[in-house]
């Protein structure tokens, strides 16, 4: 970042190519004089075409590779942001205009570099926001329709969450204006998933409990009142845990994550308010009409599979805990070989133009040709840099053998000189980042003459610094968020014991989600690495939102204990009554992310698999098996030091209580 500021001051008119046009013969042979003339002619024609935000397109006789097979032309933009939408449109148009110009020649041309990579990445990903939104809506409507067999219940949650989405967007914009928060456009896709994910979760938590009360013969308004009393605190605690997890991102050193945290926290807070006010009000007014035309809701479901799981967990908690925990541990072992990558190009299909052009470029030029590493030498004392100092620094830098070093250029003020280093390694590769952040920076700093300082910048240096920042964030944000969530769990459960094993289970689930992605993509598919932000994504959706299912389960366990059931019966009843709620909510959220597996971009595939599989693991392995099994093993001590009404009878399992009189139902 310091290099960028120094360059802006010392070289305000400096041009940086947003993309590079790569030319080669269709037979991959050396370029002839006629080919070189054609390169110049095509470049001149493209330059005269006048593309929006493209300042110039130029080539030179020197822009031919040492092996004579590759020629280059620079596409210089009038904006510094290579991801500018208008610039990307110009890159797309430039490709179209180049095709007819190449006809009748022996040449092929491809665009690569920052803007071309961004365009291909965008097009290979498709309209991700629209894809996620459509998949989410379809899953919610279809699944709720199947579960409740009612068009109203299938559609109402979508409409309610749509209202919440608009309110949340308005509040986020207001907060950004009032408190000076950054509003990052990249939050939009994540915001959609968060709102529909947690919103559907909370509505399902409430509706399943509402339907349970109606089946016991209560009037609709009383049934909804009891449902809110029973799960209101659970929903509030689940939302509190998610909000805390998101607000912990404010501690991040990366602006993108700091902007994301408050936006997501605001959206969850709005969803919570709607879940405890708007949703109960609407369904209280509708009463039994909400379930029209189905009458199946009146019948007590058999819950055959859930009862078997509950019975097995109550009878053999050690076996269930060992098997479920063992599965998660084996999957989590993959984290040990997790290798983060910043190379977005590696996630793109091999047949994309920018990928093919980059491969051709690297066959004739250093890999760092597209994104040079910049070294600036700045005078820190009064005076200007001497030419002899600049030349001596250049020689020391070149002698280090890190790549081709261009002659030093002194800025107009005379106190800054810059050097372009063309690395032998690909700019976004791990080897390049390790070199730039280590040996190259050390060599540049040591070579700086007295009274001056050397700084190393450029894309590779940016990636290296981001990697350092991300590693720092992992060691700070995750533990603080974990401690805050533990406090919320402790307040909900009135226990200092249960939060510990719940958070250990959450940590194991986090490792299993990330580890299974490593096993699949690095192991089976042979990828060099995974998206460097993948741990944060798993944290946001598997840990933060997935914790809802653990909270729902353990709150139901505690409720059954407070009703007077022993540990075994509490486990049986909690699993039987909660399995359908947790399962339906998890399938909707997992299905939403699972849509990303259809994308051509492997990084989106990694994100989709990690979150979808992680949510399913959290719901069906952790919440329905591991947590109840451990709770049964610990027994009444799990609720210590809760009041006496929280202490379970430590006795042999008794008959399963399938229903309880309304007067015996205590709020959570």
pLDDT one-digit tens code per residue, 593-635: 787 787 766 777 888 899 999 999 999 999 999 999 999 999 8
- Model confidence band, residue 125 (pLDDT cutoffs 50, 70, 90): low
| Cα–Cα separations (whole angstroms), residue 426 to 66, 358, 371 | 18, 10, 9
Please give the DSSP secondary-structure letter assigned to residue 111.
E
Residue at token pair 């797309």: 92
Beta-carbon-side half-sphere exposure of residue 149 (alpha carbons within 13 Å): 8
Burial of 440 (0-12, 13-18, 19+ CB in 10 A): buried
DSSP class per residue in 386-419: -HHHHHHHHHHHHHTTSEEEPPPEE-TTSSEEEE
For 27-51, b/e burial (b = at least 16 CB within 10 A) is eeeebeeebbebbbebbeebbeeeb
Tell me how far CA of residue 551 lies from CA of 189, 202, 496, 574, in angstroms.
26, 12, 15, 12
Give tens-digit pLDDT for 98-123: 999 999 999 999 998 888 888 887 77
CA angle 420, 423, 425 (to 5 degrees): 155
Which of the pair, 594 or 509, is modelled with greater confidence?
509
pLDDT 10s digits, 5-58: 888 888 877 777 888 999 999 999 999 999 999 999 999 999 999 888 888 999
Query: In b/e form, how buried is each residue of 263-275, taking b as 16+ CB within 10 angstroms?
Result: bbbbbbbbbbebb
Q: What is the pLDDT of residue 347?
A: 61
Q: How does residue 660 score in pLDDT terms, banded at 50, 70 and 90? A: very low
Specify the pLDDT at position 189.
66
pLDDT at 661: 39
Inter-CA distances, 263 with 188, 270, 280, 388, Å:
10, 11, 25, 53
Omega cis (within 30) before 641: yes
Band of residue 343 on the pLDDT scale cut at 50, 70, 90: low
Task: Indicate the DSSP class of residue 663.
Answer: G
CB proximity list for 162: less than 8 A, separation 6 or greater: none
Q: Residue 663 pLDDT > 50, yes or no?
A: no
Q: What percent of the chain has pLDDT over 90?
A: 29
* pLDDT class of 548 with cuts at 50, 70, 90: confident
Please, how many CA atoms are within 13 Å of residue 464, restricted to the half-sphere of its CB? 22
> What is the C-alpha separation between 42 and 44, in angstroms, rounded?
5
- The greatest distance separating any two alpha carbons of the chain, rounded to the nearest whole angstrom, comes to 95
Question: Over 80: is that where the pLDDT of 642 sits?
Answer: no
3 state SS of 594: helix
pLDDT at 575: 94
**What's the mean pLDDT in 486-515?**
88
pLDDT at 655: 43
Q: Are 309 and 625 in contact (CB under 8 A)?
A: yes
Determine contact, residues 666/559, Cβ cutoff 8 Å. yes
Question: Is the pLDDT higher at 454 or at 344?
Answer: 454
Beta pairing, strands 416-423 & 409-410: antiparallel
Q: How many CB atoms lie within 10 A of CB 149?
A: 16
Q: Can you give the pLDDT at residue 217?
A: 84
What is the structure's pLDDT at 423? 85
Cα 15 → chain centroid:
33
Measured CA to CA, the distance from residue 17 to residue 430 in angstroms comes to: 23
pLDDT at 650: 39
Q: Which of 104-108, 216-220, 363-367 has the lowest mean pLDDT?
A: 363-367
Q: What is the mean pLDDT of the chain?
A: 84
Residue among 612, 608, 596, 604 nearest 131 (CA): 596
The one-character DSSP state at 345 is: G
């Amino acid at each position: 970042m310091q290099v960028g500021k120094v360059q802006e001051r010392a070289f305000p008119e400096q041009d940086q190519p947003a993309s590079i046009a790569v030319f080669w013969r269709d037979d991959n042979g050396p370029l002839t004089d006629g080919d070189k003339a054609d390169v110049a002619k095509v470049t001149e024609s493209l330059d005269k075409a006048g593309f929006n935000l493209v300042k110039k397109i130029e080539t030179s006789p020197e822009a031919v590779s040492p092996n004579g097979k590759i020629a280059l032309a620079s596409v210089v933009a009038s904006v510094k942001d290579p991801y500018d939408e208008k610039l990307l449109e110009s890159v797309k148009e430039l490709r179209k205009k180049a095709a007819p110009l190449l006809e009748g020649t022996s040449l092929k041309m491809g665009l690569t570099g920052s803007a071309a990579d961004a365009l291909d990445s965008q097009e290979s990903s498709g309209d991700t926001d629209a894809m996620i939104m459509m998949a989410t809506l379809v899953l919610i409507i279809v699944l709720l329709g199947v579960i409740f067999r009612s068009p109203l219940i299938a559609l109402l949650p979508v409409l309610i969450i749509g209202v919440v989405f608009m309110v949340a967007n308005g509040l986020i914009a207001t907060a950004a204006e009032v408190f000076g928060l950054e509003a990052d456009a990249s939050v939009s896709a994540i915001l959609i998933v968060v709102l529909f994910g947690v919103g559907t979760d909370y509505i399902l938590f409430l509706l399943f409990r509402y339907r349970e009360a109606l089946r016991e013969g209560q009037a609709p308004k009383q049934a909804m009142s009891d449902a809110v009393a029973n799960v209101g605190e659970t929903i509030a605690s689940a939302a509190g845990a998610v909000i805390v997890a998101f607000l912990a991102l404010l501690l991040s050193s990366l602006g993108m994550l700091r902007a994301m945290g408050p936006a997501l926290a605001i959206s969850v807070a709005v969803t919570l308010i709607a879940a405890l006010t708007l949703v109960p009000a609407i369904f209280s007014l509708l009463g039994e009409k909400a379930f029209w035309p189905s009458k199946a809701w009146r019948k007590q479901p058999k819950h055959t599979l859930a009862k078997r799981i509950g019975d097995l967990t109550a009878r053999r908690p050690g076996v269930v805990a060992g098997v479920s925990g063992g599965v998660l541990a084996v999957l989590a072992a993959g984290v040990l070989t997790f290798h983060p990558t910043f190379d977005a190009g590696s996630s793109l299909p091999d047949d994309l133009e920018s990928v093919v052009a980059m491969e051709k470029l690297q066959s004739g030029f250093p890999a760092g040709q597209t994104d040079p590493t910049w070294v600036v030498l700045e005078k820190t004392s009064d005076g200007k840099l001497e030419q002899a100092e600049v030349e001596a620094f250049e020689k020391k830098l070149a002698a280090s053998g890190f790549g081709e070093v261009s002659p030093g250029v002194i800025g107009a003020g005379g106190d800054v000189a810059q050097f372009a280093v063309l690395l032998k390694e690909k700019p976004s590769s791990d080897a390049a980042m390790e070199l730039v952040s280590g040996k190259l920076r050390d060599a540049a700093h040591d070579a700086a003459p007295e009274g001056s300082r050397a700084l190393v910048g450029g894309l590779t240096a940016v990636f290296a610094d981001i990697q350092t920042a991300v590693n720092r964030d992992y060691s700070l944000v995750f533990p603080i968020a974990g401690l805050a969530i533990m406090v919320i769990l402790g307040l909900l459960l009135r226990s200092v014991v249960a939060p510990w094993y719940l958070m250990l289970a959450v940590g194991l689930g986090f490792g299993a989600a990330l580890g299974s992605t490593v096993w699949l993509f690095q192991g089976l598919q042979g990828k060099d690495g995974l998206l460097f932000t993948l741990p944060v994504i798993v944290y946001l959706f598997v840990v933060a939102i997935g914790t809802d299912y653990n909270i729902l389960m353990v709150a139901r366990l505690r409720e059954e204990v407070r009703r007077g059931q022993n540990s075994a019966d509490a486990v049986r009843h909690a699993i039987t009554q909660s399995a359908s709620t947790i399962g339906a909510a998890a399938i909707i959220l997992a299905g939403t992310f699972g849509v990303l597996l259809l994308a051509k971009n492997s990084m989106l595939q990694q994100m989709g698999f990690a979150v979808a599989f992680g949510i399913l693991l959290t719901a069906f392995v952790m919440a329905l098996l591991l947590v109840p099994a451990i709770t049964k093993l610990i027994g009444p001590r799990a609720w210590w030091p809760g009041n006496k009404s929280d202490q379970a009878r430590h006795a042999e399992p008794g008959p399963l209580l399938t229903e309880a009189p309304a007067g015996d139902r205590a709020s959570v």
